[in-house]
Amino acid sequence: MSNRMDLHKLGFLQVLLLSALGSCAGQQALPPGVRYGAVGGNVTFTTTIDPSAGQQFLTISWTFNGAPIITLTPTVESPSEAYKGRVTLSKATGSLQLRQLTNSDSGDYGVSMVTQEAKTIAGEATLKVFGPISDVTAKANATEKPIVEFNDTVSLTCSAAGSDLSYQWLTGASVIASGDRMRLSDKNRTLTISRILRSDQGPFACAASNVIMAKRSEPILLTINYGPENVKMTVTPQKPIHKTGSNLNLTCSAESVPPAVFGWVFNGNPLKQEGPVLQLTNILESQSGNYSCVAHNTVTLRYMPSETSRINVLEGISGSTIIGPTTSLIAGNSTANMSCHAVSGTVASREWKKDGKPLSPSDRITIAADKSSVSITPVENTDSGDYVCELSNAVNTETASYKMTVNYGPEDVQVKGEEAVEVGDKVVLVCSARSLPPAAFSWTFNGTLLGVTSAEYTIGSAVYGQSGRYACMAKNNVTGLSLSAVHTLSVKEEGALEEEESLSGGAIAGIVIAVLVAVGIIAAVVYYMRTNRKIESPY
């Protein structure tokens, strides 16, 4: 101690002396400021002496907290016992290197150098030796209880071994500063996040540092429980109306940590089913109604319902039939009523078609306002055909058909065949009629039944007595109507018809007249020539 005091005095006097002389300014041998070193490391106290000046010193001596470290004279270098092998002193500058630092090397160092001109240059410095930084750990206080978004406050605390430590919190590479929800306290050792958000999951790390080194903790991640939010229900398949008997899946989703559990609500009442998918199989009309799902988070204890979707179920049309007349219809007389119905399903609309074309009303055809029936009064043969009724509702379309047959006739009865034949000729008479069902025929000759019921009446070889009136009667056994046509046949002597085939009476008369005319002309010419011969010509 006394030594150091002496040096101080010496330096002080020197400064006074030098300033009084007004020559070179008083020289501080060491730059100001604290030196730092790590345990086990080296430190060099570098003096302000310029080695190139070639200055010579009579003595250089260093002290630690007043106790000598080393003293150097041009002849002797004498380090104290504690510093042997740990120090190196520069003769040219007085700089001191101290190696294998320990915590106990922290303290005040002094140097005093006496020049050959008997000037003393002195300096002081402080050394701080730091131990290594270890065990840097970040910990959240919320470990036994789950963290709930918006509700919870979480404290992160940094611990580390080392001296003169200061702390920082980082997320990723960026340093966290105190803000609205994030507060640093306890000299930055503690980071408190209030009203925690899902985005606050980290990773968080803390860094402990002193002037010479820094060390980071392992990063930690927070599990922040949140939700459910954004609860959505989807119905597959998506249709405005579903047919009874079809299968539907209702699927519920939500943003939630931990994953939400789902419940289902039908017309305001909870259903027994749970889980993200509600399967509705073989649905009934009674299952039409309002559906929604509710998501629940068992940690945040929050519930969140989805929007409500209406599901409409409609029975499809089946068992469609046309009920039409069961008795025979007679053209011009009968009325035909047809009605179109389905065994199940609510019919929304009906369309009638005949032979593939839309059926339109007329003075005979009346279609009911709801198109459930068609009435035809009276029926005509053109009404025969295939009738179709198309029944529809929102989920399907079915068709029913009815084949209508209108009986009519006989009409337009005709007999075709020879009118005149020669004895021995063959005669074929054919009777025809328009009729449904086809007419039955019966033949009479001069009013006497011939006992023939086919359409064709044949005489193999005609005789005179077969001349006369042949009548064909067509009878429709459904309409009960009958109609006849008459045909007259004359049987002539052999050759009677051939004559007519050569020259007619008129032709013969024409030839006779032509011959007479020719004879007359010749006679007239002869007479003329005879009378004119007596008259002389004037020439």
Ligand X SMILES: *[C@@H]1O[C@H](CO)[C@@H](O)[C@H](O)[C@H]1NC(C)=O
Q: Which residues contribute to the site for ligand X (CB under 6 A)?
A: 41-42, 99, 141-142, 145, 148, 151, 153-155, 166, 168, 175, 177, 184, 187-188, 192, 236-237, 247, 249, 267-268, 277, 279, 289-290, 300-301, 308, 310, 330, 332-333, 335, 337, 375, 437-438, 440, 446, 465, 467-469, 477
Q: Are 228 and 302 in contact (CB under 8 A)?
A: yes
Q: Which is nearer to ligand X, 297 or 320 (CB)?
A: 297
Q: Which is nearer to ligand X, 308 or 401 (CB)?
A: 308
Cα atoms in the Cβ-side hemisphere of radius 13 Å centred on 464: 4
Residue ranges with strand state E in 67-179: 67-72, 77-79, 87-89, 96-98, 107-115, 120-130, 134-140, 147-148, 154-161, 166-171, 174-175
What is the torsional sign of CA 509, 515, 517, 520?
A: negative
Cis peptide before 237 (omega within 30 of 0): yes
CB of 101 to ligand X, least distance (A): 9
Angle at the Cα of 261 (from 264 to 195), degrees rounded to 5? Answer: 120
- Integer distance in angstroms from the first to the last C-alpha of the chain? 210
- Per residue, the 3-state secondary structure of 382-395, as one string, reads HHCEEEEEEEECCC
Q: Which is nearer to ligand X, 80 or 246 (CB)?
A: 246
Q: Which is nearer to ligand X, 27 or 130 (CB)?
A: 130
CB of 301 to ligand X, least distance (A): 5
For the chain, the C-alpha Rg in angstroms (whole number) is 68
CB of 8 to ligand X, least distance (A): 31
CB of 524 to ligand X, least distance (A): 53
Q: Are 345 and 387 in contact (CB under 8 A)?
A: no
Q: Which is nearer to ligand X, 58 or 229 (CB)?
A: 229
CB of 235 to ligand X, least distance (A): 9
CB of 330 to ligand X, least distance (A): 6
Helix residue ranges, H only, 468-533: 496-499, 505-532
CB of 139 to ligand X, least distance (A): 11
The β-bridge partners of 289 are 311
Tell which phi-psi region holds residue 254, choosing left (phi > 0), alpha (psi between -120 and 50) or beta.
Answer: beta
CB of 505 to ligand X, least distance (A): 25
Furthest C-alpha separation in the chain? 219
**φ, ψ (nearest 5 deg) of residue 527:** -60, -45
Q: Which is nearer to ligand X, 9 or 181 (CB)?
A: 181
Task: Point out the residue whose Cβ comes nearest to ligand X.
Answer: 468
**φ, ψ (nearest 5 deg) of residue 7:** -60, -40
User: To 10 degrees, the CA torsion angle through 208, 210, 212, 218?
Assistant: 0
What is the torsional sign of CA 230, 233, 238, 241?
A: negative
Q: Which is nearer to ligand X, 121 or 455 (CB)?
A: 455
C-alpha–C-alpha distance, residues 472 and 414, integer Å: 8
CB of 298 to ligand X, least distance (A): 10
Q: Which is nearer to ligand X, 122 or 473 (CB)?
A: 473
Residue in the block written with tokens 């340093």: 175
Q: Which is nearer to ligand X, 310 or 426 (CB)?
A: 310
CB of 14 to ligand X, least distance (A): 32
C-alpha–C-alpha distance, residues 484 and 402, integer Å: 34
Q: Which is nearer to ligand X, 417 or 468 (CB)?
A: 468
Q: Which one-letter DSSP state was computed for residue 52?
A: G
The β-bridge partners of 125 are 109
Q: Which is nearer to ligand X, 10 or 148 (CB)?
A: 148
